[in-house]
Amino acid sequence: LRSRRSLCRVSATNDEEAAAKVAAANANSGAPTIFDKIIAKEIPSSIVYEDDKVLAFRDINPQAPVHVLVIPKFRDGLTELRKAELRHVEILGQLLHAAKIVAEIEGILDGFRVVINNGPAACQSVYHLHLHVLGGRQMKWPAG
Ligand code: TR5
């Protein structure tokens, strides 16, 4: 059996490896993540959709022709989905709705996938809740 690291990090650059180490160390600590810098526009990103609650931008390491991340602008404890509480229901709905808007903008309404990786066993690497919106090719099932 391959190690979790090799299963999760298919083509890690040095930068990504460093980021993964920091992410592992900070997982669930509530420490800021790279996404805070993207939200603050301190790091450039290719924004697909934005409103007052939600930001959607292209994944730097796309796994499909369309690969967009949808994140809440205010993390509010949502480092990962398992931290969801009733108070998060509204933002969780807004994130899903934004995923549909992204699919519309990207022209993939005929078939797209929305993924949330929760925790190390699901290869989560950034501890700021995010939806992956994937499409633009025939998706396979079951997902790996
Ligand atoms: O593995 P999970 O589900 O946590 O997804 C995190 C995603 O963030 C991965 O698909 C990464 O490719 C993506 N990612 C990581 C960085 C990054 C990014 N997407 C856009 N821009 C990014 N920057 C500037 N820096 C990253 N470290």
- Mind listing the pLDDT tens digit of every residue in the chain (144 residues)? 466 666 886 555 666 656 665 666 556 677 999 999 999 999 999 999 999 999 999 999 999 999 999 999 999 999 999 999 999 999 999 999 999 999 999 999 999 999 999 999 999 999 999 999 999 999 999 998
Question: Would you state the pLDDT for residue 14?
Answer: 64
Choose which residue among 17, 66, 126 to substitute to test ligand 1 binding: the one with the highest number of ligand atoms within 8 A of its C-beta: 126
Whether residue 89 contacts residue 72, with contact meaning beta carbons closer than 8 Å, is answered with no
Q: Are 56 and 72 in contact (CB under 8 A)?
A: no
The kind and range of the H/E element at 132 are strand 131-135
Q: Is the CB of 125 under 6 A from ligand 1?
A: yes
Asked whether this complex has an ipTM greater than 0.90, the answer is: yes
Whether omega for the bond prior to residue 32 falls within 30 degrees of 0, making it cis, is no
Q: What is the pLDDT of residue 16?
A: 61
Write down the pLDDT at residue 10: 54
Structure tokens at 25: 């160390």
Q: How far is the CA of 49 from the centre of ligand 1 (A)?
A: 17
Instruction: Tell me the whole-structure pTM to 2 decimals.
Output: 0.90
Is the separation of the CB atoms in 70 and 133 below 8 Å? Answer: yes
Q: Which of 67, 128, 130, 132 is catalytic?
A: 130
End-to-end, the C-alpha distance of the chain in Å comes to 14
What's the CA-to-centroid distance between 68 and ligand 1, angstroms? Answer: 10
| Ligand 1 centroid – CA 126 distance (Å) | 7
